[in-house]
Structure 1
Amino acid sequence: MKSLFSSGAPRNAPPSQPGPSTQNDSSRNLLTVPESPATRRRELSEVFEDFRRKSISELSLVMDALRGSPSPGSSQYIHPERASQSTGNLNPPLTKKGRRRRKVQKTWQAMSPGNFSKQLQLVQEEKAMQAVPTAPVDASKFVAYVQERRKKRILFKGEYLMVNRSIDNNKCRCDVGSTMMDRNPYPDTLPYDHNRVILPRIDNDENSHYINASYVNSWLRDKAYVVTQAVRTKPMNAEFWRMVWELGSNCIVMLTKVFDFMRVMCLQYWPQTKFQFREIEVETTEVKTYSHFVIRTFKLTRKTEESIETRIVKHFHFTEWELDSFPYISAFIELRRRVRQFMEKNPVDAPMIVHCRERREARVSSFSAHSSLTLSSSSSFSPLSFNFGASSLRLNRKRERERERERERESAEKEDCPASLRSLLNTLSGISWLGAVMCNVQPIEMHLLKERSSMYKAKKNRELLESQETHENKLLMHLTPTLRIGDCAGGHRLENRGKNRDVMVVPPDHARPYLQTLHGESKDYTYINAVEVDGFTRKAEFIVTEWPKQSTVDSFWTLIYDHACHTVVNLSNQGSQRHYPSFIHNKGKANYGPFIVEIMNYHQYPAMTSHMVKVMKRTFMISDIMATGAQNQQIDAEVRICCVIQVRMWPIENKVPLSTTGLIDVIKMARSWRKRAPDRPETKPTIVMSHNGVSRVGVYIGANICIDQMDIDHEVDVFHAVKMMRINRPQLIDMKDEYKYLYDVMLHWYMTNPEYRIYDKEDSEDADSQKTSRPPSNRNSVKEKSSFRSKFSFRRRNTTRQNENNAIEHHVNNK
């Protein structure tokens, strides 16, 4: 450590040099010399302690910062700020004493805390720029590539600096857009002249050729995408649909909400039924709503004097990308899978239209990079080929680009990298996890469930299926998010610790249902160990909770009342009364905290019991209390009707039921009541509970998600269902038993619902027609890889399961 200070500041203050007073004044301004020896010793001791805690690699950066230059061989990666500072020596020659004085001044300037930290940061960024790969990254190494950058965030910033070096200022001209201010929804975001979209001119409108949109190239072809902004005015609606028609596009991807935090992000430029936008009529023919996105089908009709022409356009709307946040990557990838599937079935020689909102390049660039990489047949990735400066994704005009860089520089100083680049690489990391098995996790057709169930008989096929299940298990473990203590701060608070059965199973704060009704004696009456789980068609469709403790029974009924839950499914039999107290009675009325619960009817079935209950909240009016004194007048508030279903066929020692019949009966009853329940049950959640809030719950929710898949998309994807469930509660679904049991439930549901057979015929006919007469396309087709998923995965079944499935098949065939 002694050598670190040999080239630093002297122990004593530098002697004052003779000369004019102005020179002495300037020297005093430049030299940040401590005023006393004690202050110097204290500062040097602090610096020494800081150095002593640094590693060897950090000390090398310190030496580079002290030298004020990068390491040898790295001159080609000089930081832009360093390059601007190295302007050469324009000062006149100095005398020997002047050179010595200048050297002392530079030494003390370099040792100032502010300058030292700045130089150290510049050196770190230069090192990060050297770590940027100069060639595409192999797909097998891309996971490690992204993991390293997640641990060392400075590497993200190094790549961003390299992106800025690739900007061609000659292509950053916005002369045309700057003269069309009335046609720009966001005046500070304009398209470049060299790649803007040019529309045919309309008579009596000389500016009709302009629209704020730009072409973007993909990995495979030029002008693969058209990037535009959100529609903000009603006249822009007609211009947007004219652009869609003139380009011949059949796919629109919308990556923003209509409303977000009480702000209008984008006008709803599509009609609910039918509307005329000048000469183009747009009709909404189909709407499919999912938990994270909506898929709409539009029919465009244009009438001319000669003929009437119609086209079909798909609209993919990603609805769950919050403002200034990251999307759920698996949902983002699922949306892209559906877009790719539609484009492969309906190829056109026209660009795909992608839009978000003002200055949301991260969203558009993430989607375009994702699209290009998944369509590419290459086995390597090149993230920097989809940079934000060289491509037309950065639409800001030249004089606004400096202001944006300043904002991004401030963001980079706080986060080591702008959000746009981190969003792209985080998204690509999700692709990397799925890259090697992208075909393996594709949904399977319903009629192939039967074929999959028979593959366990042969030893070779059974080993193949077991290896695939192991592979899917590892993949799900990688994709499952990790919840830290900070994410679950509410459950770890001192007053809430006793409300949890297991300290390792605590809901994250962003996904737990908050209670509103005042109850109990706890300081935090808003907490209950429950978490919201997304369904297939709606977010927060389920609320997962544990069997209430004696101190949380009131909180359980508060959860039912505050969130207007219409159904409670209890998947566990009652154990010890001490550990699992009863939370419902069989007849009459009973009080649970501030609620009165009345049993309306009670039924007992072979596989379950059902209680139809009426929940009323007891309230007291202050005026009545003052008028009657001690006699408080009770007033009934709003009434909730709820059905409590409790299973009986699931032994406490078994992870899965002995058969699928009982669970199917429970699912049918819950879904039937959801259709008949009052007060819009399609918007209210269903409570699913077990003794610990983890086991058994995943089987029920996963089965409901797969049933919705079969009803809407006529396919089954257990893998995607498990991914959705584990977003907010990673412990759901045991991969050894519950994951495999889901396939048995789906086979039973398919075999007992003959209405699915019509879709099997349609799917087979579509597959045959695609093989024989598929229209030619100028795009490079993606190679269809054979996958384990086409062979499906299954488990070894016991004799009871085999006999049951054989009986189901025999019954359906005879029927």
Structure 2
Amino acid sequence: ITFVLSTPSMFVWRLCSLIHKRKLLVEEERRLNRVSQDPIAIEQFVNEFRRRCKAKELQYEFKAIELISVGDKQSTKIRSEGKHKIALAAKRACNRAKNLTERVLPYERNIVHLDQYLDQPAADPGNDAAACSHGNEPYINASWIDGYKHPKKFIAAQGPLSATKADFWQMVWQYQVQCIVMTTNLFEHARQQCDKYWHNVHARFNSLDVWLDELYSTAEYEMRLFRLQMGEDSSQARIIRQFQFKNWSHFDTPLPTTVVEIRRKVNDWMRGKDAPIVVHCSDGAGRTGTYICIDIEISKVENGKPVDILQQTLALRKARSGLVGNMHQYRFIYETICSFITCRPTTIKAFEFAQLVERMSSDAAAASSTNAAIISAKKKAAKFTQNGFQLEFANLTAIVKSLSVGECAGGHRAENRWKSRDVMVQPPERARPYLLTHDCASSTDFINAVYIDGHTRSNQYIVTQWPLRNTICDFWKLVNDHHVAVVVLLVDYSNSSRSYPRFWPNARNEETGYGSVYVILQDQFSVGTSIRVRMHTVAKQAGSCSTGLSQRARHVAFLCLDGASWPAGARAPASGHGLLELVCLAEETNQAMECTSPILVVSSNGVSRCGPFCVLHMTMDKLRFEGEIDIFRAVEKVKRNRPQLVENSTEYELCFNLTRQALGYFYSGRLQILPDQSLWLQLEGESGGVQLGLEGGLPSQVVRPRVRAARPATLDDFRFPVTSRRNRRRRRRRAADLEGTAAASGEAAAGVEIETETAAMV
């Protein structure tokens, strides 16, 4: 009976399902037929991109590209013309091991041919795999790609495998390549994407020697300088520059401005050189095609030509299979072109920066690109009441993506919402530091803090709010679990209040427990006229639940900006010198403790003042290593994980003014770049200075304060918990004994001492 009754309902359900699928197919076919294949004018591109995103047209564009590409491969006419004929060398048995996948193989008409291997031994006649049918025929999975008005500008290559490293360098030498763009990491998600085809010092491939002469690493990319030499003739050595993306995986993309910046550096390096650029990822398809397409379309914009991403992607796929491999990469091309059109080329030489600030203060057009079409479009859109800072900040806000509730799920859980001062300011799951210490059943891994990338390394800063009374223990867990050595306090709440409690011990040499973490205040002093320093020793109680953490006690320095330097409620500091001192001292102290851990930046709400500090620190790093300044990209990086940072155009303009003041100190001699690429800043009102970076010396006869640990702390300093009355009496007796010993010997038994020493010039 049940079967009989259910049969009609099942029939109706299947019929409805088929009708629904048919409707979807009809709708999809209708949307595919409506896909526009016309180029987009530069002035209309930004609005058109936003309209297509809102109407979800980009996914149908990419699906049309996939269908057209498959149709071209199956077309009898195109196959007869040989446009998609796979190269014979790629299908030979001896070369199959040189292909990462059978889906991406070079075509016969544009394969990169290699000459006979140098110093190649004779093939073994009995080894069919080595001899094939034509002996040891050279082969590499690479294709020629045309650039904008530049035939054979690129070589789209597969990432070298262990068996193809010699072939790769043979190709570089044969075609006189001087630039390599690597759009992948060696490993992603525990899978090898590309073999390391260089050595940290020297490697030899057949008769070709490869030396790694230079390595410059940032949080987003790495630049290497290789020196190639064939045989013993050193006069024929060649220099090759490699640019490697560090944050570009198969299903994730870097910031659009990062690609624009790398492209600018590549073009600067290749200026005046007539040689192809090798671009490779893992299989030489998706990310390789994305970078090449971005380069071609930006070249069109620079020459005032309309943008045509759909047709350009089709043209690339006719040259090599799989270029621009998925919808994420196709949308990223649109985002990068939109970012390039919206925002001016933001990197500028240091000696031109002061003039730029003057122009932006009075003229909104100074924030635009140098392209005439872009300038005219922005002049029409800009309000006459806006200056350059306001217009550029509006452009920056438009390209920074907001965080959804799902991305910040941890902070919105019921057990964690009370830990935030502002429930709408939450860290994303991808960039929040997890607490690893759990001292009770109700403790969670959440604290309202977020990682911020610096210029030289990822996760260089942790930005957090001033702790609440019930989150002080979590704050010290954060310091201990993530090995923080420097805590920067951008607000002065020395007098404890109900809203902003004091969360550090007040009595010297007396241990205070915050959950399972114990803290001793060892010393406090002032540096210059704007900074107060507190030196603490921190350790965790033995036996507390943790994940792979060391029980060794460590020193932690608190650097507090004086309230007079930046009064509470003020939108800008009274004097920028105090913040410059704080930036220099934070890096100096971090290096003095030989620590590469993040700098913990604290403000009242985890938003205000933190952005300018991180931006200024990043800008000084870029200045001392590259001699360039890029405030726009620094602010974009800061706002990526917390969009509320640098919350208004006033703070954005403050970043420019602070950098300009730092450059003024540089030209006057108060701020100096030392031979070891470190910075030295003369303290305000004193003859001393603060050096950014310990290696190397200071100018002669310059006296500066320096923090030095008298002796390393041990767990013996934390023998007694703080819960027992007997233990409190023990602490008091021990403190009295320490004071007596210090009075007898004339120095403290533990802690840090401040010494003044004369530094010699390097």
Letter of the 1:686 counterpart: I
Greater CA drift, 538-547 or 604-613: 604-613
CA distance in 2, matches of 1:129, 1:153: 12
Q: Give the direction of change, closer, same or farther, for the CA distance of 1:316–1:756 in structure 2 (3 Å limit).
A: farther
Q: Indicate the residue corresponding to 2:18 in structure 1.
A: 115
- Look up the match of 2:241: 314
**Structure 2 CA distance, aligned partners of 1:282 and 1:213?**
21
Structure 2 unaligned spans of 5+: 74-78, 124-134, 368-383, 674-701, 703-762
1:386 aligns with 2:312: yes
TM-score by length of 1: 0.71
CA drift at 1:433: 3.0
Change over 3 Å in CA distance of 1:580–1:426 after alignment to 2: same
Partner of 2:68: 165
User: What is the CA–CA distance in structure 2 between the aligned matches of 1:465 and 1:538, rounded to whole Å?
Assistant: 39
Which of 514, 518, 534 in structure 1 is aligned with 2:434? 514
CA contact (8 A) 2:421 2:605 kept: yes
Partner of 1:340: 267
Kept in 2: contact 1:149–1:156 (CA 8 A)? no
Cα RMSD (Å): 3.3
After alignment, is 117-126 or 308-317 more displaced?
117-126
What displacement does 1:419 show?
A: 6.2
* Residues in 1 aligned to 2:577 and 2:246: alpha-carbon distance in whole angstroms: 37
2:682 corresponds to: none
1:775-812 Cα deviation digits (max 9, x unpaired): xxxxxxxxxxxxxxxxxxxxxxxxxxxxxxxxxxxxxx
Q: Deviations over 1:162-199 (max 9, x none)?
A: 45325533222223211043551415232121211001
> Which residue number in structure 2 is paired with residue 529 of structure 1?
448
Report the AA paired with residue 339 of structure 1.
Answer: V
- Return the offset for 1:120: 1.9
Deviation at 1:37, TM superposition (A): 12
Match of 1:444 in 2: 348
Residues 216 and 657 of structure 1, relative CA distance in 2, 3 Å threshold: same
**What pairs up with 1:659-808 in 2 under 5 angstroms?**
659-678=575-594, 681-682=595-596, 684-753=597-666
2:525 is aligned to 603
Q: Which has the larger radius of gyration?
A: 1
Question: In the alignment, which residue of structure 1 is the partner of 2:279?
Answer: 354
Correspondence for 1:220: 149
2:645 maps to amino acid: L
Residues 1:375 and 2:299 are matched in the alignment: yes
Matches within 5 A, 1:418-429: 420-429=326-335
State the Cα distance separating 1:43 from its structure 2 match.
Answer: 9.1
Letter aligned with residue 167 of structure 2? E
1:640-655 matches, within 5 Å, as 640-648=554-562, 649-655=565-571
**Partners of 2:651 and 2:440 in 1: how far apart?**
36
CA contact (8 A) 1:533 1:725 kept: yes
Q: 1:188-203 maps to which residues of 2 (within 5 A)?
A: 188=102, 189-202=104-117
CA contact (8 A) 2:247 2:253 kept: no
* CA drift at 1:207: 3.7
8 Å CA contact 1:570, 1:688 repeated in 2? yes
When residues 276 and 640 of structure 1 are mapped into structure 2, their CA distance, relative to the original with a 3 A threshold, is: same
Taking the aligned partners of 1:244 and 1:383, their CA distance within structure 2 comes to 29
- The answer to whether the Cα contact below 8 Å between 1:214 and 1:392 also exists between their aligned partners in 2 is no
Q: Which amino acid letter does the alignment assign opposite residue 751 of structure 1?
A: G
Give me the TM-score of the superposition, normalised by structure 2. 0.75
**Deviation of 1:456 (Å):** 8.3
Partner-residue secondary structure (3-state), 1:217:
strand
> Shift of the alpha carbon at 1:609?
1.1
Equivalence for 1:570: 489
Aligned residue runs from structure 1 range 126-165, under 5 A: 126-153=29-56, 155-165=58-68
Paired residue total:
620
Distance in 2 separating the partners of 1:238 and 1:479 = 42
How much does 1:118 deviate? 2.8
User: Could you tell me whether the CA contact under 8 Å between 2:393 and 2:652 is conserved in 1?
Assistant: no
Partner of 1:615: 538
> Aligned equivalents of 2:145 and 2:364: distance in 1?
48
Residue 479, structure 1, aligned to residue 399, structure 2 = yes
- Residues 37-56 of structure 1 show CA distances to partners (whole Å, capped at 9, x for unaligned) of 9957x998x9xxxxxxxxxx
Query: Quick check: 1:591 aligned with 2:516?
Result: no
Describe the SS at the equivalent of 1:490: helix
For 1:626, the equivalent position in structure 2 comes to none
Provide Cα deviations, 1:431-471, integer angstroms capped at 9, x if missing partner: 2132154xx33322212234446668989999999532222
Deviations 1:261-285 (A, max 9, x none): 2322212111212222222221222
Q: 1:550 aligns with which of 464, 469, 485?
A: 469
Change (3 A) 1:150 1:456: closer
Are 1:163 and 1:389, in contact at CA under 8 Å, matched by a contact in 2?
Answer: no
1:274 to 176, 189, 202: 202
Local SS of the residue matching 1:288: strand
Q: Does 1:258 align with 2:201?
A: no
Task: Look up the equivalent residue of 1:294 and give its one-letter code.
Answer: E
Indicate how the Cα distance of structure 1 residues 115 and 393 shifts in structure 2: closer, same or farther if over 3 A, else same.
farther
**In 2, Cα distance between the equivalents of 1:582 and 1:223?**
65
Q: Which piece of structure 1 moves more, 422-431 or 252-261? A: 422-431
1:541 aligned partner: 460
Say which of 398, 417, 420 aligns to 1:497.
417
1:753 counterpart SS class:
helix
The alpha-carbon deviation at position 213 of structure 1 amounts to: 0.8
Post-superposition offset of 1:515 = 0.5
| Cα displacement (A) at 1:521 | 5.8
Q: Secondary structure at the match of 2:167?
A: helix
- Give, in whole Å, the separation in 2 of the partners of 1:136 and 1:455: 34
Distance 1:119 1:718, change over 3 A: same
Structure 2 CA distance for partners of 1:237 and 1:757, relative to 1, 3 Å? farther
**Structure 1 position 657, deviation (Å):** 0.6
Distance 1:534 1:393, change over 3 A: farther
Task: Give the distance between the partners of 1:739 and 1:473, measured in 2 at CA.
Answer: 7
Residues 538 and 555 in structure 2, CA contact (< 8 A), matched pair in contact too: yes
CA contact (8 A) 2:364 2:391 kept: no
Determine helix, strand or coil for the equivalent of 2:317: coil
Q: Percent identity?
A: 27
Residue 658 (structure 1) shift: 0.6
The answer as to whether partners of 1:249 and 1:352 remain within 8 angstroms in 2 is yes
**Structure-1 residue corresponding to 2:713:** none
Partner of 1:77: none
| Structure 2 contact 408–428 (Cα < 8 Å) conserved | yes
Structure 1 Cα separation of the partners of residues 391 and 340 of structure 2: 11
Kept in 1, the 8 Å contact 2:42–2:305? The answer is: yes
Q: Match of 1:125, as an amino acid?
A: E
Q: Secondary structure at the match of 1:519?
A: coil
Following superposition, the deviation at residue 654 of structure 1 comes to 0.5
What is the alpha-carbon distance in structure 1 between the residues aligned to residue 489 and residue 433 of structure 2? 18
State the alpha-carbon separation in 2 of the partners of residues 341 and 518 from structure 1.
52
Answer yes or no: is the 8 Å Cα contact 1:616–1:636 preserved in 2.
no
The one-letter code of the counterpart of 1:349 is D
* Alpha-carbon offset, residue 155 of structure 1: 4.6
Is 2:249 the partner of 1:327?
no
Q: Partner letter of residue 552 of structure 2?
A: E
Distance change (3 Å), C-alpha of 1:724 and 1:456: closer
Shift of the alpha carbon at 1:253?
0.6
CA contact (8 A) 2:89 2:95 kept: no
- Matching of residues 234-253 of structure 1 within 5 Å: 235-253=163-181
Q: Distance in 2 between matches of 1:457 and 1:546?
A: 32
Give 1:381's aligned amino acid: V
